[in-house]
Structure 1
Amino acid sequence: MRVRTLGRWAVATLALALLAACVPQQTPSPSAPAPSPSATAAVPSGEVIDVSLVPNLEVDRPTSTDSNAQPAGFEDAPKGGLAGYTKQQLDWSTCGGKYECAEVLAPLDYANPDDQAITLALAKKAATKSPKLGTLFVNPGGPGGSGRNLVTYFASTGLEQYDIVGWDPRGTNASTPVKCFDDEETQAFTELDSSPDDPAETEALIVGTWQFAQSCREHSGALLDHISTVDTVRDLDLLRQLVGDEKLTFLGYSYGTQIGSYYADVFPQQVGRLVLDAAVDITDDDSVIQAMGFDLALGNFAAWCARQKCSLGSSKQAVLKTITDFFDELDATPLKVGDRPLTQTIAVSGVAAYLYGGIPAWRTLSNDLKSALAGDGTRLLKASDRLNDRNEDGTFGSLFYSFPAIGCADGYDKGVVEAEQRWVIDQQKAPIFGTYFGPGYTCPLWTARSTIQFKPTGSGAAPIVVVGATGDPATPYQSAVTMAKQLESGVLVTYAGEGHGTFGGKSTCVDRLVIDYLVNGTVPTDGVKCQ
């Protein structure tokens, strides 16, 4: 599979549930596109940077000096090769109310299991009904979302016969996380312009992205070379063995659908019941890009806003013009929010955050845009912070760093020049977000090579249910169509509605079909449509 180069958002890999304020609580708010870093504290605003400072700019993925960093969670490998890992016992202990937690070891490099181990952290909500059906593994997306956190709000009604288990994939949260810039540097990193419109901004973006990549290598070391989705799939099969399940039962949102589709390709005979909701692109087709989904969602919001007689405009086009004019004004003059700036890039990410929630988030988006236009960008800044995994105290969660690390490990690119050429094409396909998302410099300047590219088909796997929403902003509906088609046992379920991720309260029809499949094994009719 070829994954588009990462800009400030990934095209094929998305993020975690950070948008609780933007979506209804009964919906698992599975994914938000995390930022792919594009600025650095080493590049003061307005300073002209000499791009020659970046070594080997003409070479894709420049090499960097070796690092002996030992990220948190590096441990001595158990004796006995891979067998030493499969003999581990899961020692569950209470970690808050009705939840249990555990840690296990996995090989940093499955080709050399005796060399170095990493730590994987898990959480479980135990089954409460009999007969027990086994374990349902869940993933909220990302890459970088916390599966342990997902367990605490996952919509488990109807699935009480399963132990619900979520894990933090390698490189994220409590599972040997990627480390890069400190919080102050990361904050400055988010404040540079991700869609440069003059040479100084372009050079600052390139230099800043390169420095970020160097920082990740310095602080994360060899972890960056063993953090791909294929590595995570091997971890997931290890966890399947450790819980004692003969087959894998799995529900993944967004990037979690990449985990599931890869698993079906690598371990087809171990596939039990897989549900892949908000499917990412697993094809080589670049005709539909993520920015097109955001443009569609913003257009749907604008049409709704005009019908509601909101203050942003009397027609869809008028609302869109109000929003884009506001973005363009911020490009020249950021809005002050306390001691922080609401820049164009930050405002764009804030608006994108609301689009994940679909219609329930639209009224809040309308009100917060109205406030920002009146000079108060507080709420829009907070929405962007959620998307960037920034906490109120100014610290950043691991998503900001693991997102590009995993995405670039999976990703395919042809260098900085091609990233700029693609940006031109993206703006033609998606005039709004295709423009503001900017060029994808992150992977061309990353210090780890991409893994072997392949096209998952899941040949020999049991039926796999793929769910797609027609108004999904982050994973366009066409990706669900092509995933279900490419996976030989794929079955498509369509939700005619808005928002990112469907199972868990948006559609009783989708919920019924998914639960019936997971509990009773009843495979939905391919192509079934739900409201």
Structure 2
Amino acid sequence: MARCVRWTALAVAAALLGAGCSGGASDDGKGGGPPAAQRLDWGRCKATTDGPAPSSDWQCATLKVPLDWSKPDGEKIGLALIRTKARGGKRIGSLLFNFGGPGGSGVSMMPSYATTVSSLRERYDLVSWDPRGVGASEGIRCRDDKAIQAAEAIDQTPDTPAEEKAYLRDADEFGKGCQKAAGELMKHVSTTDTARDMDLMRQVLGDDELHYFGISYGTELGGVYAHLFPKKVGRMVLDAVVDPTADTIGHAENQARGFQRALDDYLRSTGQDPAQGTRKIADLLRRIDARPLPTSSPGRKLTQTLALTGIVLPLYSKDGWPTLSSALRAAERGDGSELLALADGYNERDASGHYGTTTHSQRVISCLDDRRRPTVEQTRRLLPRFERISPVFGAFLGWDTAGWCHDWPVAGQYDTPEVSAPGAAPILVVGNTGDPATPYEGARRMADELGKGVGVVLTWKGEGHGAYGSGSDCVDSTVDAYLLTGTVPRDGKVCS
């Protein structure tokens, strides 16, 4: 998901990879000079509890950044970076990647994604990082594994006053847990803070301009960077684009449309009428809501919310559709095991019952960004509209607008992000017509907001979350030509 609704928009939603960092910056973290006056001490990456260290081609380091950018000489925090050097001649510089979320770990994702972007490594150092509040960069954990699993029993689409009370109480407790864990950092993990971190990263890496590849939420981050530093924009690609004109409710509606559109396409691919297939799935979910399904996981049942999450995950890629068919057939037979396994993959739950923290960081970042927080009363009035958009996903996404940042202990910063970037170099904006998490319409809106002569739209008529590396030679060659040679395509080019 992008910014504030529940389903995170990561480049690879089910990725459970990990790599740690070693090394550090020469700055002692206590001020005493410009933040850019530091040297990165690149060293071998360490293994973590989430996975082994990447190969020796990869190096890790720590960048020191101000906790509070209004006090650049004040307290510093460390950001974990990872890179692999360009292997060809005529090096352009560093190409910085953000894989979305917010809350996605670039340190974990970059080595895996490097195969997809191997052509770009000929002329760029491939670089990513864990943004502030994420993973190895002061990562925030708001509750422990036991509490996370217990919260799975909370009905995320409450039907009674008692369920509604429990839902809101759980939201309050989560926010308090985040505040206790994050402390002062909770006020300084906004998208604007991270965009400023990126410009410092650019300077310390030795680049005159920022070359950047942002995916999903990473497109919003790229747009905010372009607004703050238009003259420092180099070659920038935004793929799976967040609609920068949408507020909290608008994002939830966009996702309801996007996931329903993807579900319709999936149903057509299996020979079903989308309306009839949707009614069948909605009926299954109602039955699960009333009576959760047994699973092969000891002591765990498939709730409606877990079932929804299990349905969402395989919609991120067309390759996941056969898995979805199998899981739905099993659920119809009364076995929730396959949908639960999909939900666990999305929620980063491993076989030992340990959960990842992507959604914790995501919530802290998005709630700091978003100023508009609908009340329960407003949400109740909106629910019929959400359910018309999607009988399967609408109620969940509607309720999420009220619960995600309910009674959050830190005020939000804006209704919608500012991404206008007059004077910036052309930015390639890539939209996929079948994208469930960041629907296609956001690409044109992002390009319009960036400004005339800046936003250049490339359209792919495909399925899944994101376009580059998804099977279109047309998309890949167009993006490669832009990043490697500076060739800007015609605005409005379509790849089918």
1:15 alignment partner in structure 2:
10
Give the distance between the partners of 1:329 and 1:430, measured in 2 at CA: 18
TM-fit CA distance, 1:198 = 1.1
2:20 alignment partner in structure 1:
none
TM-fit CA distance, 1:380 = 1.3
Q: Of the two structures, which has the highest relative contact order with CA contacts closer than 8 Å and spacing of 6 or more?
A: 1
TM-fit CA distance, 1:220 = 1.1
- Comparing 135-144 with 112-121, greater Cα deviation is found at 112-121
- Choose the corresponding residue for 2:82, options 117, 120, 123: 123
Give the distance between the partners of 2:387 and 2:345, measured in 1 at CA: 26
Give the distance between the partners of 1:466 and 1:7, measured in 2 at CA: 22
2:159 alignment partner in structure 1:
197
> Does the CA-based 8 Å contact 1:172-1:399 persist in structure 2?
yes
1:334 alignment partner in structure 2:
292
- Is 1:377 the equivalent of 2:327? no
Question: 1:223–1:112: structure 2 CA closer, same or farther, 3 Å change rule?
Answer: same
2:38 alignment partner in structure 1:
88
Give the distance between the partners of 1:409 and 1:419, measured in 2 at CA: 20
TM-fit CA distance, 1:19 = 2.4
TM-fit CA distance, 1:188 = 1.4
Paired residues, what number?
A: 465
1:493 alignment partner in structure 2:
458
TM-fit CA distance, 1:4 = 9.4
1:479 alignment partner in structure 2:
442
- Comparing 334-343 with 236-245, greater Cα deviation is found at 334-343
Which residue type is aligned with residue 191 of structure 1? A
Gaps of 5+ in 2: 18-24, 46-53
Matches within 5 A, 1:24-63: none
Give the distance between the partners of 2:5 and 2:466, measured in 1 at CA: 22
- Is 1:254 the equivalent of 2:216? yes
Which residue type is aligned with residue 462 of structure 1? A
- Comparing 151-160 with 315-324, greater Cα deviation is found at 315-324
Stretches (4+) displaced over 6 A: none
Q: Secondary structure of 2:312's partner?
A: helix
- Is 1:319 the equivalent of 2:277? yes
Q: Secondary structure of 2:137's partner?
A: coil
1:215 alignment partner in structure 2:
177
Question: 1:133–1:4: structure 2 CA closer, same or farther, 3 Å change rule?
Answer: closer
| Length-normalised TM-score, structure 1 | 0.84
> Does the CA-based 8 Å contact 1:413-1:443 persist in structure 2?
no
2:426 alignment partner in structure 1:
463
Give the distance between the partners of 2:286 and 2:267, measured in 1 at CA: 18
Give the distance between the partners of 1:443 and 1:193, measured in 2 at CA: 17
Give the distance between the partners of 1:472 and 1:5, measured in 2 at CA: 16
TM-fit CA distance, 1:326 = 1.2
1:180 alignment partner in structure 2:
142
| Length-normalised TM-score, structure 2 | 0.89
Matches within 5 A, 1:345-364: 345-357=305-317, 359-364=318-323
1:399 alignment partner in structure 2:
358
2:31 alignment partner in structure 1:
79
What percent identity do the matched residue pairs reach? 40
TM-fit CA distance, 1:305 = 1.2
Give the distance between the partners of 1:392 and 1:141, measured in 2 at CA: 25
Q: Alpha-carbon deviations, 1:46-69, whole Å to 9, x = none?
A: xxxxxxxxxxxxxxxxxxxxxxxx
TM-fit CA distance, 1:76 = 6.6
TM-fit CA distance, 1:5 = 8.6
> Does the CA-based 8 Å contact 1:193-1:201 persist in structure 2?
yes
Q: Alpha-carbon deviations, 1:404-449, whole Å to 9, x = none?
A: 1011111122442334433343223333211233412222321111
> Does the CA-based 8 Å contact 2:66-2:77 persist in structure 1?
yes
Question: 1:139–1:126: structure 2 CA closer, same or farther, 3 Å change rule?
Answer: same
Give the distance between the partners of 1:423 and 1:103, measured in 2 at CA: 45
Aligned CA-pair RMSD:
2.2
Q: Secondary structure of 1:466's partner?
A: strand
Gaps of 5+ in 1: 22-27, 29-72, 307-313
Which residue type is aligned with residue 436 of structure 1? F
Give the distance between the partners of 2:479 and 2:77, measured in 1 at CA: 34
- Choose the corresponding residue for 1:157, options 118, 136, 150: 118
Give the distance between the partners of 2:268 and 2:463, measured in 1 at CA: 13
TM-fit CA distance, 1:77 = 3.0
- Is 1:275 the equivalent of 2:237? yes
> Does the CA-based 8 Å contact 1:125-1:151 persist in structure 2?
no
Give the distance between the partners of 2:284 and 2:391, measured in 1 at CA: 15
Q: Secondary structure of 1:131's partner?
A: coil
TM-fit CA distance, 1:281 = 1.1
Give the distance between the partners of 1:351 and 1:109, measured in 2 at CA: 40
Give the distance between the partners of 1:15 and 1:202, measured in 2 at CA: 29
Give the distance between the partners of 1:351 and 1:234, measured in 2 at CA: 37
